[in-house]
Structure 1
């Protein structure tokens, strides 16, 4: 599918998707394009539009390069970020002359919110360069929101682990806690990967801005993008360290619970060991045992076993082992 947008009075105006695409539009958004659409647009603009395999290359030189006075920039962006399992896929941004071309095979939220916002409010979008910078700013803001939500969720998990009032419930569901920590770790890792690619993209875009002779205000916004991406990357690193700490703490709590359980069984075994020994002695089949013919032999043996069980218990309580 091809979506087109033109700048009219500093606002984005979407074109009719049912009509023949206007390949002279300010912004051309290719959404899961067919090979025919890619070939047609490439021939019209005189560039080679990267396909999905090219976009998924991990080399920096394959993601950031220039060709025929056109700049190609690819970043990994998340979609469906409302849960902890976002869809990660590359998105290519191409500045060719006075046009911006984006190529994507999934639907990051910024590509929905930015055109709507740019249509309703005057965001000062006179050309493709400002459209690209505005779109990247919305993407960075969205990633910041995702990290902020992840940070709140991580704080809630941390509180549930260490807060005394919730100790009982946590003990019963340590598996659920570990699963939550794992999901937050995966989400944070995905967002960190995306931020690293955006930071590299912003650095490359700064050189492109100088070559294209963009104004100082736009170049400063690009520098701000780079600084924002770097600061969010640092924050993601902090969350990663906190997740690692919570994982270690959870495993430690599990070991404590297991040790407490083994401790109970050990104490019970020690308490019942003396009565078992007494019962074993009087259970031997010897013909001559003094207590066998004694009138109070049975009550004596029962009392001795009870005392042998109570005395170790009282000793453990006195030493604080229970």
Structure 2
């Protein structure tokens, strides 16, 4: 093994998007706007759930936790990406690169588990309404949310520590806008079999099993809805879970595009655009979907805005 192979990487160069100089500020403004919309939209959801008594229910409590995940994910990815648009390259320490990767995976995994818990909540509300208040009380909701975060943090810490023990011999350039798993593994000159096996197992726990659980839950939910005699009743019941179903479809649809689609023939630019879907676009559209498709949230938003305006005008 030559000297290059035994030299441990200490810095990472993230290339980001190779954008022509003529549209640099346009792209910078676009990403900055997306980040602001993501933060403001998800903070609005959290504020409304805390502020409005009509939203003090398990469904909206889980939604506020989902918004926290989206804020953490976008904050982990977007600031560095926005900076890379301007300077064309971001230099970060290798430890910071692993930390960014770790927090990205934690938030994505916790979000996957939260979406699963939300589907179970909808299943109980629609299929077992008489037992709903007993099975989904405040204590149960808190325990489920804590479990989602604990599983995400400690199980994923296992293989992140395994990655940190590998030898990385470079080159220290990552042609991506954040430190993702495959770009990091491409820098390693060690055997990555164990790490990839761990990723496969954890992928089953955090992606395959949750998706299967959500699929089964909605199978029973749809079957129950179809048994409702009136079309108005069916539409009213389905409206309570349509937002969640839309978010789930977007979330797992983007993950499937990134990780299940064959990589052969794909350019690195296309890989970046696909990764952009679940790291940037999904956290931004989640609060928009819930706000547009949920009557309770619409009412809470109107009430919140009216109260803010009344307070403002009363000062004058």
Q: Please give the TM-score of this superposition, normalised by the length of structure 2.
A: 0.30
User: Which has the bigger relative contact order, CA under 8 A and spacing at least 6?
Assistant: 2
The structure that is strand-richer by fraction is 1
